[in-house]
Amino acid sequence: MSSIKDRQRAAARARLEKEMAERAATARRRRQRQAAVGAGLALLLIVGGTVWLVTAMGDDSDGTPPGAAAPPPGMTSCFWNTDGGPPSPQIKDVGVPPTNVPNVGARVMTINTNLGPIEAQLDLAKVPCTAASFTHLGSKKFFDNSKCHRLVKVNDANNKFNVLQCGDPSATGKGYRETDGTGGPTYRFAEENLPVSEQPPYPEGVIAMANTGQPNTSGSQFFIVFDDTNLDPAYTVLGKITKGMEIVKQVGAAGHDNAFAQQAGGGHPKKELVLETLRVA
């Protein structure tokens, strides 16, 4: 049994290393074509300083664990990687979503905020695992009373980068903490629905996932695009805002405090947006 398991792990490692090498090569070529997008700004979407290693214990290109049984019709198997290194105070443990999740139909994500409700439409055919993660986290009140902790607003001749980043459960209370941007759940998962053929990749109204800059590292943090943004298409497009976009644009128009100017760019929003609840129905 152990030799079979070792061979499965070795095969998984080889597939993952090949996938990461191919993605890295693609990303390098894309960056050369889209040199206008500054590397420093792209770091905005890295989930703080928390490094999550994708291990050989089991990821392949579709996120299904090696040797897993095929899911039933209308379902997709998702792999939730819980091997994230040592725990930290910013990591909130609410368990993991189910392995088999629906991949047909649509769901509505409702975010009740201090400024009013925001709704987004999620297409389960495009983002079955990401939608399942948000459904699970919402049911566990993971996002409740957390603040959108980072805003970037850049519009010049070469760059358009306008996003509001949220989803860190440690960004709570009065004022902001130095650790904002490093929080998340105890698991990571593969990216989905990458806008590789879209121009711009992230238009106004899109909700997309942050990650660590490596494949298979989506967590809980997400960003809402309040004006067309030229960003390397390596971040899952979760859905589209259908209600409350004016709230996000108000927050964007108010600007930020430049708290992250020396790091990834941007800062805390001057107009606070608090996620009082986030649920997927």
Q: How far apart are CA 190 and CA 79, in angstroms?
A: 8
Q: How far apart are CA 29 and CA 21, in angstroms?
A: 12
Please determine, for residue 57, whether its predicted confidence score (pLDDT) is greater than 50: no
Residue 38, domain CATH: 2.40.100.10
Please count the structural domains in the chain.
Answer: 1
Distance of CA 77 to the CA centre of its chain: 19
pLDDT in tens, 22-35: 554 554 454 444 43
pLDDT in tens, 123-164: 999 999 999 999 999 999 999 999 999 999 988 877 888 999
pLDDT computed for residue 15 by the predictor: 55
In DSSP notation, 144-192 reads TTEEP-EEEEEESSS-EEEEEEE--TT--SSS--TTTT--B-S-BB---
What's the whole-model pTM score? Answer: 0.77
- Residue 106, both tokens: 């649509």
- Residue 244, both tokens: 């409350």
At residue 18 the predicted structure's pLDDT band, cuts being 50, 70 and 90, is: low
- Domain assignment of residue 62, given as a range: 2-280
